[in-house]
Amino acid sequence: MPFVKVYFHYVWSTKNRDPFLNSKELRSKVWNHIRDNSKKNWIFIDHINGYSEHCHCLISLGVDQTIQKVAQLIKGESSFWIIKNKLTLNKFEWQDEYLAASVSESGVKKVREYIKNQETHHKHKTFKEEYLALIKNYNFDEIKK
């Protein structure tokens, strides 16, 4: 059996950044469902949290998983589940775009804390501001040059 531990910080938003996940209770239901369903699909979510229009996950990929496939499975299934259970007034969708950046073993604790503190974090910063900062922090802006 191979031993693999490769962490990624995933971030994605709702379609058009609409605040579908507008209560702490709803977010808790969605994060718990994503965590439970991921276990069934052998996706290891170390930490999950977010705010009204986005989600953060710290995920360790398995030996046969890809960044794209994990994002597709989590986003697609959770969107279907939210719609099926009528958890939002309007039709729920995640945006196609997502950010996924590798996290070193030494950086895992810092990313966990960052994800854990989303409620407090977004009292001072919008998701757009956060997303642009993450793009800069993970040097994605260098790719566009």
Residue 120: give its domain's CATH number.
3.30.70.1290
Judge contact between 112 and 59, C-beta under 8 A: no
Q: What is the mean pLDDT of residues 59-85?
A: 96
pLDDT over 60 (residue 145):
no
Distance CA 19, CA 27 (A): 11
> Is position 67 within any domain?
yes
Q: What is the mean pLDDT of residues 120-139?
A: 91
Supply the pLDDT for residue 33. 98
Supply the pLDDT for residue 15. 97
> Is position 74 within any domain?
yes
As for how many domains the chain has, the answer is 1
Judge contact between 79 and 93, C-beta under 8 A: yes
> Is position 1 within any domain?
no
Give the tens place of pLDDT for each residue, 12-58: 999 999 999 999 999 999 999 999 999 999 999 999 999 999 999 99
Distance CA 47, CA 131 (A): 18
Task: Give one word for 137, left, alpha or beta, with left for phi > 0 and alpha for psi -120 to 50.
Answer: alpha
The domain containing residue 110 runs over which residues?
Answer: 6-140
Distance CA 81, CA 93 (A): 11
Residues sharing a CB contact under 8 Å with residue 82, sequence separation 6 or more, in sequence order: 20, 30, 88, 92
Supply the pLDDT for residue 2. 82
> Is position 107 within any domain?
yes
* pLDDT band for position 144 (cuts 50, 70, 90): low
* pLDDT band for position 4 (cuts 50, 70, 90): confident
Q: Strand, helix or coil at 8?
A: strand
User: What are 133's two structure tokens?
Assistant: 């900062």
> Is position 36 within any domain?
yes
Q: What is the mean pLDDT of residues 102-122?
A: 95
Classify the C-alpha dihedral 39-42-45-48 as positive or negative: negative
What is the CB neighbour count within 10 angstroms for residue 49? 20
Give the tens place of pLDDT for each residue, 45-59: 999 999 999 999 999
> Is position 145 within any domain?
no
